[in-house]
Structures are given as C-alpha cells and as structure tokens.
Structure 1
Amino acid sequence: MKQAAAKSSLRRLCPNIDREDGLETVLEIPIPEEMFTPMGSNVTLRWQNMLTWMKAQTEDKLSTPTVSARLNELRFLLYLVGSPLIPLQVQLGHSVRRPVRDCSIEASTAKYIVQQYIAATGGQPALNAVDSMCVLGQIKIVASDFHQTCETIEVKKTSEEMGGFVLLQKDPDLWCLEILVSGCKVSCGSNGKVSWRHSSNQQTPISRGAPRPLRRFLQGLDPRATANLFLDAACIGEKIINDEECFILKLETSPAIRDAQSGPNFEIIHHTIWGYFSQRSGLLVQFEDSRLLTMRTKEDNDIFWETSLESVIEDYRYVDGINVSHSGKTRVTVSRYGEQSANHKRELEERWKIEEVDFNVWGLNAESFLPPSNLGKT
C-alpha cells in the first residue's frame, strides 16, 4: 500500500495481549486513533477494552433494548450516509468516449466537460490502465434527531460517531466495502450480478435490479466511473461552489430503472444526480443526488421519504498518475411526510479522510467479492 500522508492516524495492528512475544494481528478494519484513545489509560488496557467491546457485539447483550436501539441507529446512519448506492449502472469499460453527433447542445457540452475532467484526473491512458483499487479511510458522522419540518435543525456535535473503512474494487462491477463505526459493522458489495448489504447483527435483503456502484466511488475516488456516469448527462448551467465557477451536469433516472429498483411496498418516484465541475481545474468539486420514494403502510396510507445528499470533494492528490480526492464532507437531509403522517426532517453530516490508496492490486479475483453465505445464493 502507498502512503497518502506522511503519518497515518489509523491503527492497523492489534498486539498479542496473551503473549508479549507473539505476532501482532492485522485488524480487519483499521481503527481511528480518536476511537482507540478513550478506551483506557495505557495501550494494554485500551486493547483489552477494545477486545471486550468487540466480543460483546456477538453476545446476548445485542438483544437488550438499549443496545439494540443504539445499533439500529448506527446501522441507519451507515446505510444512509456511509454506504448508499447510486441508482445507475456505470459501465467500466476502457473507453469513456461517446460520439457527439445527433446530440443536443446541453448533451454535447456535457461530453466536452467530461473530457476536460478526464484530462484533469490523469488522462485517458492512465485511467484505462487501472483495473482494481484498494482504499483505507476514516469517517466521522454526526446527526440531529427528527424534528418538525417547521423547526430549524442543528446537527449535534455531541453525537459524533467515528470509525474506519476498507474499500476494494475490481473491473467490472466487483466491489466490497467494510465499515466499522462505534461498534456497528456493515459490509456491502457487488459480485457482478447483484448488490448486497449486511450488518453485524442483522441480515438485509439483496438489492433489486442490476449491480450498482457505491456512491463513495463518485466522491473523487474513481474518476473513470465518474466520467462514464456523466457522459449521458446534460449541462444545465453554471454555479459558484466555494469560490469556484462550476459547470452543472444533471442526470435523471429513467422510469425503467426506477421500476426495477422499487419493491412491493415502496416505489421510487424520482432519483436525480448533479455534478459540479470546476471551470478552472476541470475537477469534480461537488456531487449531489436526491431521491423521493413512497411507502405503503399497513393502514393503506402513503408515506413519502425524500433523501438529499450533497458531497463537497476536496484535497485532490496524484496516486500512480491518477488525481483522486483524499477528503470531503457529505451533508444529508431526510424528510418524511404524508397525509396521515406528521412531517419530520433530520440532518446528518459525514466527514471522511482517505489514508491510503493503491491501484492495480495483485491477487484480487471474483472470490474476493462474494456476499456473506447467510444471505443465500445469488
């Protein structure tokens, strides 16, 4: 792995507490220093407390109301802001060029902007040379409670959760994310046929429709996937983002895709994506998407859920000739409303930092991306 910073703040090794001369164990998911430090007054005590804490996640304590509610809350945060999927299937072929003939002015302008983005992130040959990726990073999440929509919401800093993640990706359509935050672990991935998610104490169904990319890829980590996504966009105008004059590219999810991803008890009404590309550097500096779905309750009422995510993408640095983002912030707004439901709103914020990035990882194959066996055959 290549260091993305001079000094990493993620702990990767666990000492052998039983034998001082024993080999250290590589942690499955790196732990942020800030998460490790409060667990005791010295290193040995901290690791003992950490092991006890991790062991407790598999015992009967999970069934207690307090712990269960806490883990349900963490799982909600990780599903919503830590590991959301993009509704569109992104083609990861080596060509990211499309003809501009028979295109509208908005579509042809978008294709030109994408070509500038490809040049800014390393160029076509460098992007085409990548067939896999491994990323280590850390995240911090803060959240508000649900409030009436007429109230002003302030995200509480006292509710900050922190953790680390490992992300693997291989062409085409193979990826896996493992994320651990404050005792709750979530794994999700795609084996090339379906996308799936699974938490440490609850199974979740396999996603409907074709395999989809992780939203985190499009937050500055995978320029080729980002370019392929926005090749079908339209340029709808300009906007200043953090003192940067940007072009706005917009994508609408088609009815066929929305129908394929809807379920028996819910329907996706719309899912729209926007990308803001700097006119100065050509880089993607902000990524937004908004989804509205309706759910049918047991009382035969329709409840609407609207989720909007806005990611500011920062700290671009070159790794093996590819210009990737190493930090950023995502702000999420969740709104619930309906005729028979009180209107509520909640806001969340995630800050992420990438510690290491490596491309063309040796040894990755399809078996590295299999879903958990207890999710059933795919």
Structure 2
Amino acid sequence: MEKKQGFLSALKEEIVRGLSPSRSRSNSPAITASSMSGLLYRKKNSKDTSSYAAQPEPLIGKSRSSRPMVGEALSPLIEGPDPDGGVGEHKQSGPGLGQWMKGQLSRTPSVTSLAYKRSDLRLLLGVMGAPLAPVHVSTLDPLPHLSIKDTPIETSSAQYILQQYMAASGGQQVQTSIRNAYAMGKLKMIVSESETPTRVVKNRNVARAVESGGFVLWQMNPDMWYVELSVGGDKVRAGCNGKLIWRHTPWFGAHTAKGPVRPLRRALQGLDPRATASMFADARCIGEKNINGEDCFILKVLADPQTLKARSEGPGEIIRHVLFGYFSQKTGLLVHMEDSHLTRIQSIGGDAVYWETTINSFLDDYRPVEGIMIAHSGRSAVTLYRFGEVAMSHTKTKMEEAWTIEEVAFNVPGLSVDCFIPPADLKSGSFNEACELPHDERGKSAMALVALHAKVAALDISDDSCADNMTWKTEV
C-alpha cells in the first residue's frame, strides 16, 4: 500500500510540474488539455492497458500543434515554430503507461530524443522544404517549334517528347488560358538513414519517427509563386514576386536567394505542366530507361556556368546542377524526375567541404482538373552526401517524403500581385541550397547529426504492456 501511494505521489508531482507555466515545454493550453485527458484515461483503465492501446487519445480541435490526419481538413498554418517542438503530438501516438512514465521520470533520454528529432526536422525542411529548379524559365515564353532541319537529333527528339507531353497534359491552348493556380496537399517526411565511415544508423521505427504536415502553393503569371509548408510544428515559407526569390525559416529568418528567378521544384512534381515543359524546352534526349515497369524517354537540363556563378556566394560555390526528366512512352506524362547539385564550401583556414544533394521524385495518380492532368500523389527519396579531403569525414544521410494533393484550382478570383510581396525584414545574402546550416556548423553538422542518432540508438525502450514499442538499433 505504501509503495502504491509513493507511486501516485510521484505521479501527482509530475502532473503538477507538467501543468506548471514555468516549464518551457508546456506553454500550449491545447497540449495541456490533451495530456490531462490522456492521464485521466490511463488512470481509469490502468488495469487494462490493451484497451487503451486500441483506442488512442482524441485530438483537440483547437490544438495548434496537432497535425492533419488522413481524411481531415488541414488546420490553419501557424506563424513560426511550435513552442512545444512537436512533443505533444508524439504523446498522442498511443504509448503505454510504462513507456510514458519512463519518459517523464527520466529527463535525459527525453531531452536527447527531442534534440534528435529537432535536428532531423531542421535537416528535412532545409533540404526538402522548398527546393528550386536549376535554371530560369518563364511560362510566358513560347515553346520551341518542332524542327528537324539543321537540328541535332537529341534536341529535335526532346522537342517532340515535349509536344507529346503538352498534348497529354491537356493541350497548350488550355494551359495558356491559366492565369493563376492554387494547390493544397498533405505530406510526410522522415530521415531514414545516416551513415559515417564507421557506422550506419537506420530508422527502425518509421511510424513514430515520421513527421507529418501539409503545404499550400499559389502561383500567378508571370513567374510569381508563394508556398507555405508546415511540418512537425515548424513552418517554411518561400516566394517569388517575379524579380527575386526569398525564403523564411524559423532558424534563419527571411533571406533572399542569389541568381535568376527560378520555379519551385515542388510545382514541377506534376502540378504545373506548362512550367515543366518550359523547364525542358532546351533539354537534350539522352536515352531511354524503364521506370517501375514503364518505358520512358530521358531529357536532361544542365545549368550553365553563368547561372551557377550568379547563384554562388561567399564560401559557397555551386559547381553543377542537373535535372533529368523521365517521360512515359505510353502516356507521354512525366513519371520520374531526378535532381542533383553539388556545392563546394570553403571554410576559413580549413579544407573544402562538398555537399552533393540528389532528389529522386516519382509521380503517380494523374487525374484531370479542369482539363489539365495533375499528379495527385508522389514520393521523393533524397540523398545528402558530404565529403572532403579526409575520408573519415564523409557522411551520407537519406531522407524520404510522400505527398498527396487534396485540392487544385485554376484562375482563382481575387488573387493579385499583393499576395506575392516579400517580407519587410529580408536580409542580404542567400540561403545555402545544398543544406541549410549555420556557417559555424557546416564543417561538423553531419557528424553531430550522426552522434545524435547514436545517442538515441543507445536507448532501448521496450515494455510488454505497450502496444507501440520503440527500439533503436545501431549497425556497425
């Protein structure tokens, strides 16, 4: 009896501490309400944990940090990062009483796990949040006419493939009638694997490590776009007013991008056929390849040296940026896109470090929207490879993203140029396109990330009474 009272006393102290405004991790009333309801439910059913595992906690409708689930409407995008860092959301995933108590009474693992998740989320949003296409294109420029005379076979073949693509996407006449566009979707992101010369850390529990969220994209002729992407309590915003590109992240604030105006890569993933065709207008056909059982033509676009030089700044130099488009020979539609660029960063008094980012995107579920074929789902696999003079400093990180498109509309009434005005607090200098990292962390960031993975891997949290166990294993 005394042991039971001691346990309840300790639990009561934890609850009081957890609801105290002085705790930095419990500022949100919505999270507090959700946590309290969960505690009451656990106390009521403490003798039967299996019934609790089968019935997860209800989501509070007003919670700013609750992420949209499948079949539900997206909640409004919040301004800035969630003060709770997404901790409350992971509490709602259904852990048992034993695992919950371990996390509450052992502060060190909780802090380590939180730092690991925040590092992963920052890396995900920095690389996959709002990447740009390699070269400048304008949807107002006419597409090249098919010409065989005095034209290399690679170029004339590419023009023919693009004409087939435009016809399969709805026709050029329909697409030229589009003045603006809107798209809303849901997505999931995860850092699936990190690798060093001596260790490979794989994410063994995808269901708990995945970060869910959504995005809203607006576009308007000529060359204007704006995107908001909210994942795991953090939000990335980026836009273009036709003259400059800017991006805002919670850790860097608002920054401009150097170089020419370029389309948002996310729009090329089956959402904007005309911009996609314009992107490959000067491409070359380099061959054929089978993608998921479908024969495809391959078109290649390479950024010219002048564009790469204009995009480089300070210690960061863009060495190359190439884009491959795989167009189905059967349907004429774009089914796969590979984007790769290499950045060289020269630190003061140190060796040069190279970042190579490769993004492979697969587009699925094409459906017509107002006569235009739109890809309503897809997935991306990203590889971020860091290497330099010393072989032991090489690291590789693999990330994955899956998305679905919920709404698409064209020629939205009332949309004006005022919707694409850049923030007033824009700072000079561009964000690093290879990996958004502070200047003082670029030389050691990947090693720090793997170190965090190793710390989390040392935790083996398992309980037979839990329905959702989490076990991290380190492969050497």
Where on the TM-score scale, by shorter chain, does this alignment land: which range?
0.7 to 0.9
The answer for the alignment partner of 1:85 in structure 2 is 132
Distance 1:129 1:377, change over 3 A: farther
Q: Is residue 2:384 matched to residue 1:334?
A: yes
The answer for the alignment partner of 1:297 in structure 2 is 347
Distance 1:242 1:61 in 2: 38
SS of equivalent to 1:113: helix
Checking the alignment, whether the CA contact within 8 Å between 1:94 and 1:128 is kept in structure 2 is: no
The answer for the alignment partner of 1:139 in structure 2 is 187
Distance 1:71 1:193, change over 3 A: farther
One of 303, 306, 324 as aligned partner of 1:274: 324
Bigger shift: residues 271-280 or 368-377: 368-377
Checking the alignment, whether the CA contact within 8 Å between 1:153 and 1:346 is kept in structure 2 is: no
One of 337, 350, 354 as aligned partner of 1:287: 337
One of 348, 354, 358 as aligned partner of 1:308: 358
Distance 1:150 1:258, change over 3 A: farther
The answer for the alignment partner of 1:343 in structure 2 is 394
The answer for the alignment partner of 1:14 in structure 2 is none
Distance 2:189 2:63 in 1: 25
The answer for the alignment partner of 1:114 in structure 2 is 162
Distance 1:285 1:169 in 2: 22
The answer for the alignment partner of 1:237 in structure 2 is 287
Checking the alignment, whether the CA contact within 8 Å between 2:254 and 2:427 is kept in structure 1 is: no
Please report the TM-score for the alignment, with normalisation by the length of structure 1: 0.82
SS of equivalent to 1:136: strand
Give the CA deviation at 1:273.
0.7
The answer for the alignment partner of 1:214 in structure 2 is 264
Give the CA deviation at 1:79.
2.5
Distance 1:108 1:151 in 2: 48
Give the CA deviation at 1:140.
0.2
- What code does the residue aligned with 2:300 have? K
Structure 1 stretches lacking a partner, 5+ long: 1-16, 18-39
- What code does the residue aligned with 1:98 have? H
Checking the alignment, whether the CA contact within 8 Å between 1:155 and 1:348 is kept in structure 2 is: no
Kindly report structure 1 stretches of 4+ aligned residues shifted beyond 3 Å.
40-43, 48-51, 54-62, 65-73, 149-156
- What code does the residue aligned with 1:256 have? Q
Checking the alignment, whether the CA contact within 8 Å between 1:178 and 1:187 is kept in structure 2 is: yes
Distance 1:138 1:276, change over 3 A: same
The answer for the alignment partner of 1:31 in structure 2 is none
**Structure 1 residues 218-258: Cα deviation after superposition (integer angstroms, max 9, x where no partner):** 11100000111111010011000011010011111100000
**Structure 1 residues 257-277: Cα deviation after superposition (integer angstroms, max 9, x where no partner):** 000001111111111110000
Distance 2:150 2:65 in 1: 60
**Structure 1 residues 154-193: Cα deviation after superposition (integer angstroms, max 9, x where no partner):** 4551420000111000011100000110100110010111
The answer for the alignment partner of 1:36 in structure 2 is none
The answer for the alignment partner of 1:148 in structure 2 is 196
**Structure 1 residues 55-111: Cα deviation after superposition (integer angstroms, max 9, x where no partner):** 99476989xx87777545423211311211112111111632335253210011000
Distance 1:196 1:56 in 2: 16
The answer for the alignment partner of 1:368 in structure 2 is 419
Kindly, what percent of the aligned residue pairs are identical? 41
The answer for the alignment partner of 2:466 in structure 1 is none
Distance 1:103 1:173, change over 3 A: same
Distance 1:79 1:335 in 2: 14
Bigger shift: residues 142-151 or 158-167: 142-151
Distance 1:99 1:323 in 2: 23
- What code does the residue aligned with 1:92 have? T
Q: Is residue 2:274 matched to residue 1:259?
A: no
Distance 2:179 2:122 in 1: 31
Give the CA deviation at 1:360.
0.9
Q: Is residue 2:371 matched to residue 1:321?
A: yes
The answer for the alignment partner of 1:188 in structure 2 is 238
Checking the alignment, whether the CA contact within 8 Å between 1:133 and 1:361 is kept in structure 2 is: yes
Give the CA deviation at 1:151.
6.1
- What code does the residue aligned with 2:169 have? T
Distance 2:320 2:79 in 1: 42
The answer for the alignment partner of 1:97 in structure 2 is 144
SS of equivalent to 1:172: coil
Distance 2:354 2:366 in 1: 37
Give the CA deviation at 1:373.
1.5
Checking the alignment, whether the CA contact within 8 Å between 1:292 and 1:306 is kept in structure 2 is: yes
Distance 1:41 1:302 in 2: 50
**Structure 1 residues 282-330: Cα deviation after superposition (integer angstroms, max 9, x where no partner):** 0000001110111011333100110100000000000000001000000
Checking the alignment, whether the CA contact within 8 Å between 1:106 and 1:236 is kept in structure 2 is: yes
SS of equivalent to 2:396: strand
Distance 1:160 1:276 in 2: 28
Q: Which has the higher strand share?
A: 1
Checking the alignment, whether the CA contact within 8 Å between 1:148 and 1:345 is kept in structure 2 is: yes
The answer for the alignment partner of 1:359 in structure 2 is 410
Distance 1:234 1:103 in 2: 11
Distance 1:169 1:55 in 2: 21
- What code does the residue aligned with 1:127 have? Q
The answer for the alignment partner of 2:174 in structure 1 is 126
Checking the alignment, whether the CA contact within 8 Å between 2:134 and 2:322 is kept in structure 1 is: no
Distance 2:197 2:145 in 1: 43
SS of equivalent to 1:205: strand
Distance 1:313 1:251 in 2: 19
Distance 1:57 1:329, change over 3 A: closer
Please report the TM-score for the alignment, with normalisation by the length of structure 2: 0.66
Distance 1:155 1:326, change over 3 A: farther
SS of equivalent to 1:351: strand
SS of equivalent to 2:313: coil
